[in-house]
Amino acid sequence: MSGGQHAMGVDGSYPLLIALWLLPLGGAILCWAFGPQLKTRAGWVACAAMAASLFLTALSWGAGTQAAGGLLGAHQALLSWIPGSFDFGLLLDPLSLLWALIITGVGFLIHFYSMGYMDGDRAYARFFAYMNFFVFAMLTLVLSDNFVGLLIGWGLVGLASYFLIGFWFDRPSAVAAARKAFVINVVGDVAIMFAIFAIVATVHSTAFGDAFAATGAYGPGLLFAICVGLFVGAAAKSAQIPLHTWLPDAMEGPTPVSALIHAATMVTAGVYLIARCAPLWDASPSAQLLAGSIGGLTAIVGAILGCVQWDIKRILAYSTMSQIGYMIMGVGVGAYAGGVAHFFTHAFFKAQLFLAAGLIIHALANEQDVRRMGGLRTKMPFAFWAILTGVLSICGIPFFSGFFSKDAVIYGALAHGHPWLYAVGIVTAGLTAYYMFRLLFVTFLGSYRGDVDPVELGMRGAALPPAPAAGGHAHAHAPAWIMNAPVGILILPTVAIGAALMAGGEGSPWARYFAPQFAAQTLPPAPISEIATSLIVLLAVAAGFAVAWQRYAAKNAQANAVVRLRDESLRMPALLTNLFYFDAVIDLLFVRTSQLFGTLVARVFDPHVIDGAVRELAEIARSTGTLVRSLETGLLRAYALILAFGAACFIVYYALAAGGLR
Amino acid sequence: MLVLASILLPFVAGGLLFALPRDERNVSRTAGTVVSVAAFFLVLMAGGQEWSFRWLARPFVAAFHFGATPVSFWLALLTALCTACAIATVKLPRTRGFVALMLLLEGSMLGLFLARDLLLFAFFWDVMLIPVFFGLTAWSSRPATAWRYLIYNFSAGLLLLLATAAFGILYGTTDVIGRSGVHVAGGWAPWIFAGFAIAFLVKTPVWPLHTWMPPTYADLPAPMVAVVAAAQSKAGLYGLIAIALALLPAYVQQYSAALIVLGAISLVYGATSALVQHDAKRIVAYSSLSHLGLIAIAIAVGNQLALQGAIVYLVAHGLFSAALFILVGYIEEREGTRSLVRLGGMGRTNPRLAGAFCIACLAALGLPGLAGFVGELIMLTGVYQAGHVWAAIVGLIAVVLASAYFLRLYQGIMNGPEVSDLPVRADLTWLEGLAVAPLLVALLLVGVQPHAILTAIGMVR
Amino acid sequence: MPVDIGNYIALSTVMFFIGVGGVLLRRNPLIMLMSIELMFNAANLLFMAFARAWLANAGQVFAFLVITVAAAEAAIGLAIVVSTFRDEKNVDVDEIRLMRG
The pLDDT value given to residue A461: 53
Alpha-carbon distance of B76 to C96, in angstroms, equals 55
Ramachandran class of A466: left when φ > 0, alpha when ψ lies in -120 to 50, beta otherwise: beta
Reported residue count of chain C is: 101
The pLDDT value given to residue C1: 58
Say whether pLDDT at A4 is over 50.
no
Each residue's pLDDT tens digit, B32-62: 999 999 999 999 888 888 889 888 888 888 9
- 3-state SS string for A405-457: HHHHHHHHHHHCCCHHHHHHHHHHHHHHHHHHHHHHHHHHCCCCCCCCCHHHH
Alpha-carbon distance of A333 to A286, in angstroms, equals 10
Q: Radius of gyration (Cα) for chain A, nearest Å? A: 32
Which residues does residue B53 pair with via DSSP β-bridges, in sequence order? B64
The minimum CA-CA distance between C1 and chain A, rounded to whole Å, is 32
Residue of A327, A344, A523, A540 lying closest to A426 (CA atoms): A540
- Taking each helix axis from N to C end, the angle separating A94-117 and A336-363, rounded to the nearest 10 degrees, works out to 0
Task: Determine whether the interchain pair C97/A634 forms a contact, defined as Cβ–Cβ distance below 8 Å.
Answer: yes
The minimum CA-CA distance between B414 and chain A, rounded to whole Å, is 9
Query: What are chain B's partners, defined as 3 or more CB pairs within 8 angstroms?
Result: A
C36 contacts in A (CB within 8 Å)? none
| ipTM summary value | 0.91
Instruction: For chain A, give the mean pLDDT.
Output: 87
Q: What mean pLDDT comes out for the span B330-358? A: 89
Nearest-by-Cβ selection for C24 from A629, A634, A640: A640
Say whether pLDDT at A215 is over 90.
no
The span from the first CA to the last CA of chain A, in angstroms, equals 89
Q: Which residue has the higher pLDDT, A574 or A106?
A: A106
A212: helix, strand or coil: helix
Question: Residue A273: CB partners within 8 Å, gap ≥ 6?
Answer: A150, A192, A230, A233, A234, A237
Task: Determine whether the interchain pair C101/A637 forms a contact, defined as Cβ–Cβ distance below 8 Å.
Answer: no
A232-236, A292-296, A505-509, A582-586 — which is least confidently predicted?
Answer: A505-509
- Looking at residue B431, the DSSP 8-state letter turns out to be H
A501-510, B6-15, B73-82 — which is least confidently predicted?
Answer: A501-510
Alpha-carbon distance of A234 to A230, in angstroms, equals 6
Is there a contact between B275 and B387 (Cβ–Cβ < 8 Å)? no
Alpha-carbon distance of A87 to A207, in angstroms, equals 7
The minimum CA-CA distance between B56 and chain A, rounded to whole Å, is 34
Alpha-carbon distance of B154 to B129, in angstroms, equals 8
Task: Determine whether the interchain pair A79/B449 forms a contact, defined as Cβ–Cβ distance below 8 Å.
Answer: yes
Query: What are chain A's partners, defined as 3 or more CB pairs within 8 angstroms?
Result: B, C
* Burial (0-12, 13-18, 19+ Cβ within 10 Å), B454: buried
Instruction: For chain C, give the mean pLDDT.
Output: 87
Number of H helices, E strands in chain B: 22, 2
Which residues does residue A68 pair with via DSSP β-bridges, in sequence order? A71
Nearest-by-Cβ selection for A197 from B374, B384, B411: B384
Task: Determine whether the interchain pair A632/C96 forms a contact, defined as Cβ–Cβ distance below 8 Å.
Answer: no
Q: Residues of C near A (CB-CB distance < 8 A)? A: 20, 23-24, 27, 29, 32, 93-94, 96-101
* Residue of chain A whose Cα is closest to the Cα of B457: A82
Task: Determine whether the interchain pair A200/B399 forms a contact, defined as Cβ–Cβ distance below 8 Å.
Answer: no
Task: Determine whether the interchain pair A196/B411 forms a contact, defined as Cβ–Cβ distance below 8 Å.
Answer: no
Say whether pLDDT at A5 is over 80.
no
Instruction: For chain B, give the mean pLDDT.
Output: 90
Each residue's pLDDT tens digit, B172-192: 888 888 887 788 777 888 999
The pLDDT value given to residue A2: 37
Which of A594, A603, A604, A617 would you mutate first to test chain B, the one with the most B CBs within 10 A?
A594
Helix (H) or strand (E) segment spanning residue A535: helix A530-548
The pLDDT value given to residue A460: 66
Alpha-carbon distance of A98 to B61, in angstroms, equals 69
Is there a contact between B120 and B65 (Cβ–Cβ < 8 Å)? yes
Say whether pLDDT at C60 is over 50.
yes
Which of A637, A642, A645 would you mutate first to test chain C, the one with the most C CBs within 10 A?
A637
Q: What mean pLDDT comes out for the span A176-190? A: 93
Say whether pLDDT at A662 is over 70.
no
Is there a contact between B139 and B102 (Cβ–Cβ < 8 Å)? no
Nearest-by-Cβ selection for B276 from A82, A170, A599: A599
Say whether pLDDT at B460 is over 50.
no
Question: Residue B239: CB partners within 8 Å, gap ≥ 6?
Answer: B121, B160, B196, B199, B200, B203
Q: Which residue has the higher pLDDT, C96 or A76?
A: A76
Alpha-carbon distance of B84 to B332, in angstroms, equals 20
Alpha-carbon distance of A152 to B368, in angstroms, equals 5
| CA quadruple B28, B34, B37, B43: dihedral sign | negative
Query: Alpha carbon of A386 to those of A258, A260, A358, B414, C29: distances in Å?
Result: 17, 17, 11, 39, 110
Per-residue pLDDT band at B456 (split at 50, 70, 90): low
Q: Which amino acid, residue B270?
A: G
Is there a contact between A239 and A267 (Cβ–Cβ < 8 Å)? yes
CA B384: distance to chain centroid? 26
Cα-Cα-Cα-Cα torsion A615, A621, A627, A632, nearest 10 degrees, comes to -120
Residue of A24, A600, A565 lying closest to A265 (CA atoms): A24
The span from the first CA to the last CA of chain B, in angstroms, equals 27
Give the CA angle between residues B282, B285, B286 to the nearest 5°.
Answer: 90
Task: Determine whether the interchain pair C100/A630 forms a contact, defined as Cβ–Cβ distance below 8 Å.
Answer: no
The pLDDT value given to residue A7: 66
Nearest-by-Cβ selection for C101 from A629, A641, A644: A629
The minimum CA-CA distance between C50 and chain A, rounded to whole Å, is 19
* Residue of chain A whose Cα is closest to the Cα of B374: A81
Say whether pLDDT at B459 is over 80.
no
Looking at B99-249, which runs of residues are DSSP E strands? none
Per-residue pLDDT band at B458 (split at 50, 70, 90): low
Alpha-carbon distance of B217 to B136, in angstroms, equals 10
Per-residue pLDDT band at A1 (split at 50, 70, 90): very low
Query: What are chain C's partners, defined as 3 or more CB pairs within 8 angstroms?
Result: A
Say whether pLDDT at A318 is over 90.
yes
Each residue's pLDDT tens digit, B289-341: 999 999 999 999 988 889 989 999 999 999 999 999 999 999 998 888 888 88
CB atoms within 10 A of CB A461: 7
Say whether pLDDT at A471 is over 50.
no
CA B238: distance to chain centroid? 10
Task: Determine whether the interchain pair A602/B276 forms a contact, defined as Cβ–Cβ distance below 8 Å.
Answer: yes
CB atoms within 10 A of CB A257: 30
Alpha-carbon distance of A96 to A102, in angstroms, equals 10
Each residue's pLDDT tens digit, B93-147: 888 889 999 999 999 999 999 999 999 999 999 999 999 999 999 888 888 899 9
Q: Residues of A near C (CB-CB distance < 8 A)? A: 628-637, 640-641, 644
CB atoms within 10 A of CB A305: 24
Chains C and B touch (3+ CB pairs under 8 A): no
Say whether pLDDT at C92 is over 90.
no
Say whether pLDDT at B152 is over 80.
yes
The span from the first CA to the last CA of chain C, in angstroms, equals 55
Query: Alpha carbon of B143 to those of A262, A610, B92, B135, B140: distances in Å?
Result: 53, 20, 18, 10, 7
Per-residue pLDDT band at B457 (split at 50, 70, 90): low
Alpha-carbon distance of C55 to C49, in angstroms, equals 10
Looking at B33-113, which runs of residues are DSSP E strands? 50-56, 62-67
Task: Determine whether the interchain pair B308/A82 forms a contact, defined as Cβ–Cβ distance below 8 Å.
Answer: yes
The minimum CA-CA distance between A372 and chain B, rounded to whole Å, is 27
The contacts found for A562-567 with CB under 8 angstroms, 24 or more apart, are A562/A449, A562/A452, A562/A456, A562/A457, A565/A371, A565/A442, A565/A449, A565/A457, A565/A458, A566/A456, A566/A457, A566/A458, A567/A458
Say whether pLDDT at A553 is over 90.
no
A628 contacts in C (CB within 8 Å)? 101
Alpha-carbon distance of A107 to A486, in angstroms, equals 10
What does the DSSP assignment read for A568-580? HHHT--HHHHTGG
Each residue's pLDDT tens digit, A345-372: 999 999 999 999 999 988 888 888 888 8
Instruction: Report percent pLDDT > 70 for chain A.
Output: 95
Say whether pLDDT at A490 is over 50.
yes
